[in-house]
């Protein structure tokens, strides 16, 4: 079982930046994809960004394209989400997730159902 631990959340003013980290531990970590999702109060969890290992492809929600960047550090089993030009609409709990399924990483890389292991989440609050 993979354990994922997110960090880096906090309170930031609109226009500011944050970098989230997701560290994986547990059995031999062999991800096919890792993603970031977020959930605002009374809203469904939504896709933010993903990284697919097999071809190093990245995926972004339209709402964050050009502002957020997902990256990885294989040596540290860590994925990052650099968030720039933050707005109050980015306020949410951000979750990291992973799947070892190459099929899911191909077909469901932007879908909540495409991931098997989830972190506990980190709060991001953007003030206006």
| The predicted structure's pLDDT at residue 29 | 78
Q: Which one, of 9, 31, 20, 110, lies nearest residue 77 by Cα? A: 31
How confident is the model at residue 125, as a pLDDT?
98
pLDDT reported for residue 76: 86
Structural tokens at position 54: 């097999």
Residue 114, pLDDT score: 96
Mean pLDDT by 10 residues, the chain (128 residues): 94 98 86 96 97 94 98 91 98 97 94 96 97
Which pLDDT belongs to residue 30?
Answer: 86
Burial degree of 74 (CB within 10 A; 0-12, 13-18, 19+): exposed
């Amino acid at each position: 079982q993979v354990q994922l631990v997110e960090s880096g959340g906090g309170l930031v003013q609109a226009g500011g930046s944050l970098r989230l980290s997701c560290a994986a531990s547990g059995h031999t970590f062999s991800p096919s994809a890792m993603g970031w999702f977020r959930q605002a109060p009374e809203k469904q969890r939504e896709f933010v960004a993903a990284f697919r290992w097999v071809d190093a492809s990245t995926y972004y929600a339209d709402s964050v394209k050009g502002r957020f960047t997902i990256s990885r550090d294989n040596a540290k089993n860590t994925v990052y989400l650099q968030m720039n030009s933050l707005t109050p609409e980015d306020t949410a709990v951000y979750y990291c997730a992973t799947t070892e399924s190459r099929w899911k990483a191909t077909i469901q890389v932007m879908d909540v159902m495409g991931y098997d292991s989830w972190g506990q989440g980190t709060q991001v609050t953007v003030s206006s």
